[in-house]
Structure 1
């Protein structure tokens, strides 16, 4: 598990990389680059389905969303985004519809639903 990262905590559980943003995170382009760099180093060249919990993310700039849609999908087999409130839903819609992520990506309101989706993409 990586807990020292400024923006999020990472860990791998049952073949899925869990990625949880820290409370009140404001993500700009530099932050997005740092997140991807840290995640890729953590993955050590292994691709995983990714559960990305954005419930504590305060906001992400357009540049950060675009960067994550393209480069944030590196070494990802699929991405499930867990969100709660309407604002996160708006960010998710912008991310998926405008930024066009390069791997299967879906939004969910619960972790259990997200894990159900990601289980289809786990390496066997």
Structure 2
């Protein structure tokens, strides 16, 4: 399995059992972009489920159809999702996404990566303890 992938919208990396998705600056996500983003992540993960950290700080806009698609299909092969956003406008957009589109997997919003990683690591440990 590769540990790095990049497309027009984001970079994907795998480190210590967590998939990191960093969206590129000023990206606009319409339905076709959402499909490519999800397809690439699923291929990158090679059929394995992981906790996912998505940094959406630099996303410019996400269309309604894309949000709906990401909430459903984007939840595939994710154990939990931590959204990281350091800008207030995108933070509000992400709050709206979580509350309105209701992703299928537990999704939390954070203003910094350290808190997001702590959330994912805690859930990873809980899941391992249950196994």
TM range (shorter): over 0.9
- Greater CA deviation, 91-100 or 27-36? 91-100
1:82 is aligned, of 71, 81, 84, to 84
Number of equivalent positions: 123
Q: Show the counterpart of 1:39.
A: 41
Shift of 1:23: 0.7
Shift of 1:31: 0.2
Please identify the structure whose Cα radius of gyration is greater: 2
Q: Show the counterpart of 2:5.
A: 2
1:96 is aligned, of 95, 98, 122, to 98
Q: Show the counterpart of 2:26.
A: 24
The structure with the largest helix share of the pair is 2
- CA deviation map 1:21-71 (0-9, x unaligned): 011100001000000000000000000000000011111011111110111
TM-score (ref. length: structure 2): 0.90
Shift of 1:20: 0.3
Q: What residue ranges of structure 2 are gaps of 5+ in the alignment?
A: none
Q: What residue ranges of structure 1 are gaps of 5+ in the alignment?
A: none
Task: Tell me: higher relative CO, structure 1 or 2? Use CA pairs within 8 A at least 6 residues apart.
Answer: 1
* Partners of 1:103 and 1:30 in 2: CA distance: 22
TM-score (ref. length: structure 1): 0.95
